[in-house]
Structure 1
Amino acid sequence: MSMNRRRFLATAAAAPAAVALPKATLASGAPTKAQPVTYRFTVGEATVTAILDGYLDAAPEIIPGFDADTVGSALASAQQKLQPGGVRIPVNAFLIEQGETKTLVDAGTSSFLGDTMGDTGAALSAIGVTPQQIDAVVLTHMHPDHSGGLIDGSGAAVFANAQIAVDQTEFGFWHDDAIMASVPESSRGFFQIARNTVAPYADRMIMHTGETEVLPGISTLPLPGHTPGHAGYILQSGSEQVLFWGDIIHLTALQFANPQMTIAFDGDPKLTVETRLKMLDRAAADGLRVTGAHLDFPGLGKVLKTADGYAYQAAPWQYGA
């Protein structure tokens, strides 16, 4: 599915009339969706499962300064190619298991953004995890590819027993009527999506600010810019840790080498770049393992400092995790 600003806003505009959009029906004889895709790795005593919720194509119009030759060359170096709809990127979610406790980092898209996404529920089922077993969902932010999977088609909570953790600034932004009224009407449904997805969890919300341990072994890290309250989460288990950094990077083959590159959905482009540069510096200096919602699946690796920028080094496959 090609995702440009017009399609994204059209999706948002439909939100007040329908909490979740129906998936497109495949024509007779059309290929069915792929089987659920997951990858398990360990962080100390914890086990993390990367879940491929699906993919979307970022249209050239949402990448400021898009140059087809430059982008094509960078993609080719990463053994990728420009798709007819743009730059193909994954949508990832993550399951953290610490003993019997199960925590999701983001909830996937559900049916909000088309039929190439929304596989988080099927992936959980494939690894034997039911929605009722999820104890918490920690949201990096409240865009629909992160919070959409919190609700079903009727607007009811998918995770009956889960608490929802989100940055206080993030929650406040999407629930501010004055801000909602100030944006173009075509964008207001985007606010409604954010509100709808967390509404069934009103009595189970964990609001956090700054750097704090929001759940045992899981600490928050403010990463503003993409959205006002965009946040990462650091999982610490024993001597090992990994940072779930949300949408710090959208375009793996492009933005490490060109960290000044933004996309149209970065709410504050200048702050987005400032935050990204700080995190790239920190991750490279500390040898920190990172993972994110749009890093090439399974989205686990390290940041390397290069002579003229940064590079991404995918982690080696963990056999038998």
Structure 2
Amino acid sequence: MSTTRRDFMALAGAGLVLAPSGRLWAQTGTMVGDWTVDSVSDGHLSLPRGFYFDGLPEAELAPILAEHGLSGEMIASPCNVTVARRGGDVVLFDCGAGPAFMDSAGRLLDGLETLDIAPEDVTHVVFTHGHPDHLWGVLDDFDDPVFTEARYLMGGAEWNYWRDPATVDSIGEARASFAVGAARRLELVEERITAVADGEEILPGLMALASHGHTPGHMSFVLRGEGAALLVAGDAIVNGHVAFERPGWELGSDQDPALAAVTRLRLLDMLASEEMRLIGFHLPEGGLGRVERRGEAYRFVPEAA
């Protein structure tokens, strides 16, 4: 099927949702050196199957989806927001969908409350990219910033892309509303945002890692401490099934599917070779786990399982 902007926004506006497969969870956490890292649910997205998988070989795709318990024309995708705390720093990686995107998402503040974190406690909001489920939660119902005391950080290429007036015309009909929404939100926090570069240490033990493809300037981030490391992958590894089973396939959920596949293969190889843990925004069971090789493919092993 081909998903148009009208189809996509109608589904979001109607709040058509499917409960994610697997057990329900509130949060899952770990330590990375002296960083306390938690994954908090912002709810989930429910999107048409074709948004992800149009053009893929059905004979190979169907058994993968069946193995992971996915069926029907809608795919539910969990949304995991990462929180890292150390000393006085409270770092939020992305800030969820907020109230204006999809009824099944926008639960982040409830999740933070379970950690006794108020919005004003957040010192840094670090954006992996500018898609609605990662960015739109920066503002409340009244278009006021939610995280009033925070500094905002985003990859420089990503910032330039969403602030470019030409993006709304080049991004494609299905995502045109993404561009409008991102530009408006970034304009309202512009005075407090800092552009970061690949390889830049934005805080001691926290490094930016370019992972372009899902969006033109997508960034992942590596937390390190006491010999341990964890990759906050954002959407560079965009799901817990096909992205691992067939990492070289080009997925419709990525804006540049070919580049995203190259990036995904590079990151999966790094994670498996270095035995580095990761948190993925749309991975199951809170998104925290490890990557194992399985022949020419990979497997995600959740720590919360």
Q: Which residue of 1 aligns with 2:290?
A: 302
Structure 1's 209 and 5: CA in aligned 2 closer, same or farther, altered over 3 A? farther
Residue 227 of structure 1 aligns with an amino acid whose one-letter code is T
Matches within 5 A, 1:174-189: 174-183=162-171, 187-189=175-177
Equivalent residue of 2:234, what SS?
Answer: coil
| Aligned equivalent of 1:228 | 216
Residues 1:250 and 2:238 are matched in the alignment: yes
1:44 equivalenced with 2:37 (yes/no): no
In 2, distance between residues paired with 1:125 and 1:316?
Answer: 20
- CA offsets per residue over residues 89-138 of structure 1, 9 Å max, x none? 11110111112210001101112332111110111122211000000011
Partner of 1:6: 5
Percent of aligned pairs with the same amino acid: 28
Cα separation, 1, equivalents of 2:78 and 2:94: 14
2:95 corresponding residue in structure 1: 107
Q: 1:145 aligned to 2:133?
A: yes
The match for 1:269 is: 257
**Unaligned regions of 5+ residues in structure 2, if any?**
16-23
Q: Cα deviations across residues 231-252 of structure 1 (Å, max 9, x unaligned)?
A: 0011112221100011122221
Q: Answer yes or no: is the 8 Å Cα contact 1:89–1:250 preserved in 2.
A: no
SS in 1 for 2:63: helix
Structure 2-normalised TM-score? Answer: 0.88
Contact 2:127 2:134 in 1 (8 A): yes
CA RMSD of aligned residues (A): 2.6
> Which amino acid counterpart does residue 6 of structure 1 have in structure 2?
R
Given the alignment of the two structures, is residue 193 of structure 1 paired with residue 192 of structure 2, yes or no? Answer: no
* Preserved CA contact (<8 Å) 1:168 1:208: yes
Do the aligned partners of 1:72 and 1:81 also contact (CA within 8 Å) in 2? Answer: no
Q: What amino acid is aligned across from residue 41 of structure 1 in structure 2?
A: T
What is the TM-score with the length of structure 1 in the denominator?
Answer: 0.84
Equivalents in 1 of 2:192, 2:14: separation in Å?
A: 29
Q: Which residue of 2 aligns with 1:286?
A: 274
Quick one: which of 106, 119, 124 aligns to 1:131?
119
The Cα of 1:77 is off from its aligned counterpart by 2.8
- State how far apart, in whole Å, the 1-side matches of 2:30 and 2:217 are: 28
1:209 and 2:197 aligned:
yes
Which residue pairs with 1:77 in the alignment?
67
Q: Please say if residues 134 and 162 of structure 1, whose CA atoms lie closer than 8 Å, have aligned partners that are also in contact.
A: yes
- Closer, same or farther: CA 181–70 of 1 in aligned 2, 3 Å: closer
CA contact (8 A) 1:225 1:275 kept: yes
Answer whether contact 1:302 1:312 (CA < 8 A) is retained.
yes
Compared CA separation, residues 58 and 22, structure 1 to 2 (3 A): closer
TM-aligned CA distance change 1:183 to 1:99, over 3 Å? closer
Q: Distance in 1 between matches of 2:290 and 2:166?
A: 40
Alpha-carbon distance in structure 2 between the residues aligned to 1:40 and 1:93 = 11
Counterpart residue type for residue 48 of structure 1? V
1:202: Cα distance to partner? 1.6
C-alpha spacing 1:177/1:236, structure 2 compared with 1 (3 Å):
same
Superposed, 1:19-58 pairs within 5 Å as 37-58=26-47
Please say if residues 82 and 279 of structure 2, whose CA atoms lie closer than 8 Å, have aligned partners that are also in contact.
Answer: no
Equivalent residue of 1:298, what SS? helix
Deviates most, 294-303 or 193-202: 193-202
Q: 1: CA distance between counterparts of 2:7 and 2:99?
A: 13
Asked if structure 2 preserves the Cα contact closer than 8 Å seen for 1:257 and 1:310, the reply is yes
The alpha-carbon deviation at position 314 of structure 1 amounts to 2.0
2:8–2:47: 8 Å Cα contact kept in structure 1? no
